[in-house]
Amino acid sequence: MNQSALNELSALLPAERVMTQDAHLAAYESDGLTAFKARPRAVVVPETAEEVIEVVRWCHEREVPFVARGSGTSLSGGSLPVEDGIVIALNRLNRILEVDPIDRVAVVEPGVINLDVSRAAEQYGLHFAPDPSSQSICTIGGNVAFNSGGAHCLKYGMTSNHVMGLKAVLATGEAVEFGGRSREQIGPDLTGLFCGSEGLFGVGLEFTLRLLPKAEDFHTVLAGYGSLEEAGSAVSAVIESGLLPGALEIMDALAIEAAEAAVACGYPKGAEAVLIVELEGPVEKVAAEREQLDRILKDTNSFEVRVAANAEERMTIWRGRKSAFSAVGRLSPDFIVQDGVVPRSRLGEALRRIGEMSKETGLRVANVFHAGDGNLHPLILYDGRVEGGLERAEALAGRILEMCVEMGGSITGEHGVGMEKRDFLPGMFSDYDIAVMKRVRAAFDPKEVANPGKMFPGAEAPALSQHGLHPLEKAGVISRE
């Protein structure tokens, strides 16, 4: 993009909202996957949907690549900028346009923080169910782009289950509206198709979100176990019993150590794993289910069980789990957060194999996962200051993903494919499947200007790692020949 093009871009928005200086661009050169960096040519900060549409139309006409970005919490490189392209920062489109307690919907702009939706709906006894660990900073636009989940997705599903309609500008510059306020709709589910598209179709401008009544009662339990296997067995026992908890989470000893150092959450001392189970619903139903849960925890050899006596104690239990990703930074100068899925019945086997890989490579791995649906989040600890440290960590991450696919699972549960996992896509899908996906993408973005280089294998890399090559290339795990 030459200076003439930059001048044209600067004419679309006030000068102070078109940033081209290195000091400004540095803040946008990476997302949550900090191993990869790229410097965009410009960052634009629109304040209205109309301004976003103008910028996208300009990008389409000039064939300038763009990446839409919220808080930049993506852990797969999904919101990495494209060199010689622009970043469209959506944080100022942060209005909650409507909260309707009758229809139980909220209409919000893409820059609205996830947790703020529930805060706005709280006065009506409602809430927005998807609750990623980063919910206090991540934005709805990013949640939709990556179909985020969270601790309560076992019972309530992913973001796509709670987006009823949306307005967007496609990569061609065409403004569209999909879905609406009713769950009963005719024709193809284009709203569902847009959710999880990782920014490859265009930019969401407004979302109609489904709100749910807040549970009448909660029963939050923290159980300590002497081994990961026992905690995994408890998960199977809970699901097989017919219980459907709001959340069912496991953290291993290393993750517990990190959480204690960060927020002093008071988890059971000496536990090799803790299981967090949260029952929720009508008082009578929760009362009956807690008796059933108590028996299961006793039968699966939990050595300590703590029950949250009030809302404050409940938040203390969840504070440890929600802080786990960032807390691991206290134990290691660098770490990778991986995201894969295995069948629930093979959780124990998967954890055992991850432990074996950890010993084999000499890299510590902290395990935090949504146990109810088999969504693993191994955190691989390494020191980037040591030559080859990142490459060894990425190689281990790749082996874990390959294990997930081998077991009949997935390379991603909720973090998306982004840049980091794109070369593992053929392990899950045939060439024909991937070709169909590319055709769908081309229908929305024939010039491939929206978030190019992401998701699909073989695409030109939008950014380089800080070592100059994709770490998996240097480790010999993938090849671009």
pLDDT tens digit string along 257-284? Answer: 999 988 888 899 999 999 999 999 999 9
Is the predicted pLDDT of residue 458 greater than 90, yes or no?
no
pLDDT in the model for residue 107: 98
Cα Rg of the chain (Å, integer): 22
- Structure confidence at residue 478 as a pLDDT band (50, 70, 90): very low
Beta strands 273-281 and 340-341 are unpaired
For tokens 């999880």, the residue is: 196
Is the predicted pLDDT of residue 127 greater than 90, yes or no?
yes
Are 299 and 237 within 8 A, CB to CB? yes
pLDDT in the model for residue 412: 94
pLDDT in the model for residue 7: 87
- What is the distance between the alpha carbons of residues 273 and 308, in angstroms, rounded to a whole number? 18
Neighbours of 157 (CB within 10 A): 15
Instruction: Read off the pLDDT of each residue in 128-154 and give the average, rounded to a whole number.
Output: 95
pLDDT in the model for residue 102: 96
Is the predicted pLDDT of residue 253 greater than 70, yes or no?
yes
Q: What percent of the chain has pLDDT over 90?
A: 79
- What is the distance between the alpha carbons of residues 481 and 177, in angstroms, rounded to a whole number? 41
Contacts with 283 (C-beta within 8 Å, 6 or more apart), sequence order: 216, 217
Is the predicted pLDDT of residue 370 greater than 80, yes or no?
yes
Positions of CATH 3.30.70.2190 in the chain:
217-327
DSSP state for residue 126 in the 8-state scheme: E
Instruction: Read off the pLDDT of each residue in 362-370 and give the average, rounded to a whole number.
Output: 93
Tokens of 185: 């709709």
Topology of 217-327 in CATH? Alpha-Beta Plaits (3.30.70)
Q: Which range has the worst mean pLDDT, 54-63, 120-129, 227-236, 406-415?
A: 227-236
Neighbours of 146 (CB within 10 A): 29
pLDDT of 284-336, one tens digit each? 999 999 999 999 999 999 999 999 999 999 999 999 888 888 888 888 999 99
Neighbours of 481 (CB within 10 A): 2
- What is the distance between the alpha carbons of residues 447 and 429, in angstroms, rounded to a whole number? 24
Q: Which range has the worst mean pLDDT, 60-74, 90-104, 371-385?
A: 371-385
Is the predicted pLDDT of residue 471 greater than 50, yes or no?
no
pLDDT in the model for residue 469: 45
- What is the distance between the alpha carbons of residues 57 and 69, in angstroms, rounded to a whole number? 17
pLDDT of 155-195, one tens digit each? 999 999 999 999 999 999 999 999 999 888 888 999 999 99
pLDDT in the model for residue 476: 46
DSSP letters, 389-448, are: HHHHHHHHHHHHHHHHHHTT-BS-SSS--TTTTGGGGGGTS-HHHHHHHHHHHHHH-TT-
CA neighbor of 47 nearest in space, from 12, 20, 83, 23: 12
Are 65 and 82 within 8 A, CB to CB? yes
Average pLDDT, the chain: 92
- Inter-axis angle of helices 3-10 and 49-62, nearest 10: 160
Are 126 and 104 within 8 A, CB to CB? yes
Q: What percent of the chain has pLDDT over 70?
A: 95
Q: pTM value?
A: 0.90
In angstroms, the first-to-last Cα distance of the chain is 28
pLDDT in the model for residue 477: 42
- What is the distance between the alpha carbons of residues 178 and 292, in angstroms, rounded to a whole number? 43
pLDDT in the model for residue 460: 60
Q: Find the length of the chain.
A: 481
Positions of CATH 3.30.465.10 in the chain:
96-213
CATH level 2 (architecture), domain 96-213: 2-Layer Sandwich (3.30)
Are 387 and 363 within 8 A, CB to CB? no
Is the predicted pLDDT of residue 369 greater than 80, yes or no?
yes
Could you give the 3-state DSSP secondary structure of residue 299? helix
pLDDT in the model for residue 462: 55
- Structure confidence at residue 459 as a pLDDT band (50, 70, 90): low
